[in-house]
Amino acid sequence: MSAAVIPFQLSVSGRGPANYVVRAFAAGRGAEAPLMPPDPRDAPDVLSLALGRALFPGPVRQLLIDVARGADEAGARVQIQLYAAPDLAGLPWEWASLGQSSPWRPAVREDYTLVRSGSLRPAIEPLPVAGPLRLLIACAAGVETAIGPLGHALAEAVRAGLLVVDLLRDTDPLSLREALAEEPCHALHLIAADAWGQGEGARLRLGRGLDVAGLAGILADYPNLRLVTFAADREADPAALGTMAAGLHEALGMTTVALGGLEPDQVARFSGPLYQAIALGDPADLAITDGRLALEASGAPWGAPRLWLVPGTERLFTPLPLDAQPPPRREGIPETEHLPVGTPLRPQREPAPPGRAARALATARAFVVNTTTVGKPAQRARSQPRGPLLQPRLIALAAALLVLALLVSRVLPSDAATEGQRDAAIAALPTLQPVTAATEALSGPASVPEPRGFQSYLVVAGDSLASIAERSGSDPGALAALNRLAPGATLRPGRPLVVPVYHDGEPLPAAPIVTRGNPERPLVALTFDIEIDDTTLYALLDTLDAREVKGTFFVTGSWAQRYPEAAKAIVSRGHEIANHSLTHPAFSTIGADGALNELAETERIVRELTGASTRPYFRFPYGDSTPQMVETIGRAGYVAYHWSADDVAIADWIARAAADPAQAYGGILLMHGRASSVAALAGYIDQLLALGLQPTTLSAVLE
């Protein structure tokens, strides 16, 4: 089994050069620093170092070193997942390097792979494939000179029986659609005559201009198509090619590669190792690294290729022995006869109507089998799957698993894994559907009428439920029920509220992120972020029950879907359940629509499973937020709650509280569903009680 993947999420975002920031999230920790984007017009060596300094400033670099050290001890590898805001996505971050005498370049390392991400989709299990992988090369008119070098580069994989390659010449949208209908493929290599434009205006020239929506409409019907590579004439705009690759990834969740700014022989040199590794079942990020290393070895632009993938979907295919899936009997071919080269090992589909695609489609034998081999893999040519990349540690398996559990909040397998590991890491989640939170019926501590929308608000002196309701167009009873208050309750100044809106009223100033409850009462909230498994959840519940203490559990919708009985147990055992998103993304990177989907889907899942509402409590994954996101979640019916101290800081926080317990009043403690939290929880509760501090729920601490 290959090394597990530890995600190191990097987010670069902001508004204007003075407000850009780089944020890193990994292993339950975070770091951030201001970001000054480099000038892309700088000389390559200067730009490479500037990108490295921008992407890995001191705090981020130190966090990466710490995570990498833990990964090495656990026999894992780090995957740097880059989430770039649209105005920063065009920068060539893959060129980032640190140091001059022996530069560190994550884009050409196997233990620190660099990928781009952004698609709000669940990970997809690898597709089992018996026999060779089928690759379609679709080449536009006028760029046929790219075909020859690519054919040479793929010859070795074809001879080895790893690939069947078809060629579609003079490609336009119609012929591409016909070719895919006639013979679906696993990977598609597009060679466009040109690429231009940005954002929704980006286009490829395949006979005519083709935008992301048009291409997605052609490819959406082929679930076995897992990889699309974008190449084009040397004069095409690399940024437009990247925009097309990123757009298709966002639209369909496909793994995509952009090869802007490369000559045809450089594209071929990269593609040979890429497709051979993919056909062998290697993870896509390691296959990309092979291709980049081949470019680096020849002095070519190794930082030009860009990869977009959904985290957890590194491995696209699982190669199977030929006898694992017997080939179907085909018309005119006796059962004892070997299938010819180019014959798919799956039932034959009804062909598309005769057209130019059928006449232009060339078989793999005519295209590559008799050509000279170039573009060998940069590091290996092997028949065995890739082995562990790091030095093995002489420790027991149980110890290694414990290190992983303590190190990361989510570990994603990158190669063959046991069924249990796969189930734990790749959940079968539904496709997100846009849902307007304001139209949902509420189900919580009390039944309230369906509002037309929500506001968040921070109580000021003199406020009452009735006065707030009158100003905002709300209802006092619904306002109390939604915020888990008794009817007619006296409101504490500084208390956050979510206000359901039923008719016209004045807008209220939005509540900020909350890090402390009532500072006048000796109560401390025990809150838990739950997204990994159910074993630690039950252990946390047992510890709380044994000490007759209640807590508040922020759950992801994907976790609740995987472990419905555990979600029900939170509510049935008297604890509060709250919203921690659906897929645990960095909210600064997903936009308002993405955020609303994350909130609404989790609310729907939890409410259907438990009968309880997650409103009005939400916690940003990784603590990653923006002022705009705080307003967005307020309009969805939530207030954001951070913490006074998290897992690694709780012991010191309690020590300071021992010197002055009043300073700890209203504290909000954050723990995660990990073995370390289970081990520490009972001790934390006992220490709090000894200081006269009552551990309880978030609702109680806010009163």
| pLDDT tens per residue across span 409-420 | 333 333 333 334
Task: Taking residues 297-317, report their average pLDDT.
Answer: 93
Distance CA 65, CA 408 (A): 14
Question: Do 71 and 159 reside in the same domain of the chain?
Answer: no
Q: Are 583 and 120 in contact (CB under 8 A)?
A: yes
Q: Which of 358-362, 424-428, 435-439, 688-692 has the lowest mean pLDDT?
A: 435-439
User: In terms of domains, do 435 and 358 share one?
Assistant: no
Query: In the structure, what pLDDT confidence band is assigned to residue 40 with cuts at 50, 70 and 90?
Result: confident
Split at pLDDT 50, 70, 90, the class of 498 is very high
Residue among 112, 80, 91 at smallest CA distance from 13: 91
User: For residue range 625-670, what is the model confidence (pLDDT) as tens digits?
Assistant: 889 999 999 999 999 999 999 888 899 999 999 999 999 999 999 9
Spatial strand order of the sheet with 21-26 comes to: 29-34, 21-26, 5-13, 77-84, 112-116, 306-308, 255-258, 227-232, 187-192, 133-139, 163-168, 361-362
Question: Within a domain: residue 339?
Answer: no
Tell me what the mean pLDDT of segment 607-624 comes to: 91
Q: What is the CATH number of the domain that holds 131?
A: 3.40.50
Please report whether residue 589 resides in a domain: yes
Is 340 a domain residue? no
- Among 1-5, 327-331, 515-519, 531-535, where is mean pLDDT lowest? 327-331
The alpha carbon dihedral of 453, 458, 461, 465 has a sign of positive
pLDDT at 395: 30
Query: Among positive and negative, which fits the CA dihedral 25, 26, 31, 33?
Result: negative
Using pLDDT thresholds of 50, 70 and 90, give the confidence band for residue 556.
Answer: very high
Backbone angles phi, psi at 379, to 5 degrees: -125, -20
Q: What is the pLDDT of residues 60-73, one digit of tens each?
A: 999 999 998 888 88
Catalytic residue among 166, 529, 534, 624: 529
CB under 8 Å to 250, separation ≥6 — which residues? 118, 119
- What is residue 422's predicted lDDT score, i.e. its pLDDT? 32
Whether 400 and 486 share a structural domain: no
Instruction: State whether 136 and 87 are in the same domain.
Output: no
**Percent of the chain with pLDDT strictly greater than 70:** 81
Q: Are residues 159 and 13 in the same domain?
A: no
Which residues face 80 on adjacent strands? 8, 114
Secondary structure E strands in 314-444:
317-320, 361-362
Predicted local distance difference test score (pLDDT) of residue 274: 97
Task: Please write down the long-range contacts of 286-289, taking CB distance under 8 Å and 24 or more positions apart.
Answer: 286/110, 286/113, 286/314, 286/386, 286/414, 288/113, 288/115, 288/257, 289/107, 289/108, 289/109, 289/110, 289/113
Domain that holds residue 102: 5-116+394-425
**Statement to judge: residues 101 and 157 lie in one domain:** no
pLDDT tens string 562-606: 999 999 999 999 999 999 999 888 888 888 998 999 999 999 999
Pairing mode of beta strands 552-555, 523-530: parallel
Query: Which pLDDT belongs to residue 369?
Result: 34
- Residue 415 identity: D
Q: Are residues 86 and 154 in the same domain?
A: no
Task: Quote the tokens at residue 511.
Answer: 């509540």
Beta bridge partners of 8: 80
Between 160 and 308, the more confident residue is 308
DSSP secondary-structure letter at 342? T
pLDDT value of residue 324: 53
For residue 292, tell me if it sits in a domain. Answer: yes
CATH at residue 599: 3.20.20.370
Over range 603-620, report the average pLDDT: 94
How does residue 121 score in pLDDT terms, banded at 50, 70 and 90?
confident
Residues 72-116 have pLDDT tens digits of: 888 899 999 999 888 888 899 999 998 877 788 888 888 889 999
The reported pLDDT for the residue numbered 43 is: 83
Residue 281 is predicted with a pLDDT of 93
644 occurs within a structural domain: yes
What contacts 274, CB < 8 A, 6 or more positions away?
A: 229, 257, 287, 288, 290, 291
Q: Which two tokens stand for residue 602?
A: 């989790």
The SS3 of residue 254 is coil
Do 415 and 445 sit in the same domain of this protein?
Answer: no
Same domain, 665 and 590: yes
Is 529 a known active-site residue?
Answer: yes
Is residue 43 packed enough to be buried (19+ CB in 10 Å), middle (13-18) or exposed (0-12)? Answer: exposed
Task: Give burial (CB, 10 Å; 0-12/13-18/19+) of 415.
Answer: buried
Per-residue model confidence (pLDDT) at position 315:
93
CA atoms within 13 A on the CB side of 259: 28
**Structural domain total, the chain:** 3
* 627 alpha carbon, distance to own chain's centre: 22
Catalytic site residue from 249, 580, 584, 672: 672
- Cα three-residue angle 469-471-474, rounded to 5 degrees: 30
Quick one: DSSP state of residue 583? Answer: S
Q: Indicate the helix (H) or strand (E) that contains 289.
A: helix 284-297
CA distances from 71 to 312, 390, 395, 403, 530 (A): 17, 9, 14, 9, 22
540: in domain: yes
Whether 344 is in a domain gets the answer no
Q: What pLDDT sits at residue 161?
A: 84
Helix (H) or strand (E) holding 525: strand 523-530
Active site residue 593: no
Rounded average pLDDT over 388-405:
32
Q: Verify that 475 and 516 share a domain, yes or no.
A: yes
Looking at every residue in the chain, the average pLDDT score rounds to 81
Q: Tell me, yes or no, whether 184 and 104 share the same domain.
A: no
Identify the band that residue 447 occupies on the pLDDT scale cut at 50, 70 and 90: low
pLDDT tens, position by position, 169-196: 999 999 999 889 888 899 999 999 999 9
Q: Taking residues 286-296, what's their average pLDDT?
A: 95
The 10s digit of each residue's pLDDT in 206-228 is 998 999 999 999 999 899 999 99
* 345 in any annotated domain: no
Q: pLDDT category, 425, cuts 50, 70, 90?
A: very low
Do 518 and 556 share a structural domain?
yes
